[in-house]
Amino acid sequence: MNGHLTDKHYLQLTLDYAKNRQGFCAPNPAVGALVVKNEEIISSGYHQGCGQAHAEVNALVHFAEGELADATVYISLEPCCHQGRTPPCTDLLIRHRPKRIVFAYYDPNPEVAGKGQALLEAAGIRCEYLEIPAISLFYRAYAHWQRTQRPWVIVKLALSQDEKIAGEKGEPVALTQRSLQRFTHQQRQNADALLTTARTIQADDPHLNVRCSDNYAKPLYILDSYLNTPSSAKIFNTCSEVIIFHQANVEAERRASLIQRGAQCRIIGHDTEGLNLKAVLASIGQDGRHQLWVEAGGRCAQALLMQQLVHTLYLYQSSKTLGENAVAAFHSGLNQALLMERATCYQQHKIGDEIAYQLEFEVP
């Protein structure tokens, strides 16, 4: 294997390390790093979370200055060069003076954005950029957040064969099996936060946590114009934070009850369609969330789609048919075929015995 291919191989491995903490580092990005000497990985590290040591620090912690003169450090993201909650990683790298540094994505943060590379090169250390498409894809939500201060919105919707989402009177129907349920939990884990509606909480009383090999609590946002979220809902015990968006004119007693349960209640402007969704996303972006996983009903999904706020849509295709009187997923002429036509691209994933369509949309 020549050097160019070896660089790609090691950078791909940094992505594996970064993925260990995807969904737990915001407002920082998840980053992975490797130290390679004589074609052998001698150390690795990843960023654990905001305020904690960066990937480079964890990869270099076991070495004295001068030990890495013949080593190459591979990093999924350009090293940071500014003082944040932790010191600049460029300072650490300059002290250790590895032979070479190779990274796969320029940090879109304007405080870094090429400056990390320039600083290292000015210190006499070779610092090279090598594009890895999978890593570029991994950082798209972070780049979008840096550019717009709004999260990358991913919506999940499970449909029957006849494009229904619930039974005749709105009663919940299990449309997916274990394979897609596992996929959903993995996507929840990868997201920085989840969003649902009070209607979903009332109908299903879901846990909305992550149940993979381990259980994790995630921040949850709720669209709830009139504060109808029950104070007895399970989410108050299973989510790390509960933030409820509501309009200004609500019962003070109901608001106080939810705050007492630990919820943050935020007033958001509204119009004839309901809460202002752009303002909701701006508020979530201000919290530093890069990637938002939306798990609600068809009404919420349609509102986000119609306002062109959805970047990625997962349509889970069930083999069940629910019948004419069941609750339809879409209204006003929207349907699965039209969404596929509007998508910039889509993929079909076979997950176990089930099918999930991944649709990508251009968001203005």
Burial (CB count <10 Å: 0-12, 13-18, 19+), residue 271: exposed
For residue 312, list its beta bridge partners: 154, 360
For residue 294, what are the CA distances in angstroms to 94, 120, 176, 265, 300?
Answer: 42, 40, 17, 19, 9
Q: Is 273 an annotated catalytic residue?
A: no
- Burial of 58-69, coded b for 16+ CB within 10 Å and e otherwise, reads bbbeeeeeebbe
**At how many degrees (to 10) do helices 115-122 and 89-96 cross?**
20
Q: Strand 32-37 to strand 40-46: parallel, antiparallel, or no bridges (unpaired)? A: antiparallel
> Which one of 56, 78, 163, 295 is the catalytic residue?
56
User: Whole-angstrom Cα distance, residue 30 to residue 18?
Assistant: 5
- The position carrying tokens 């114009």 is 225
User: Whole-angstrom Cα distance, residue 330 to residue 336?
Assistant: 9
Question: So which residues are the catalytic ones?
Answer: 56
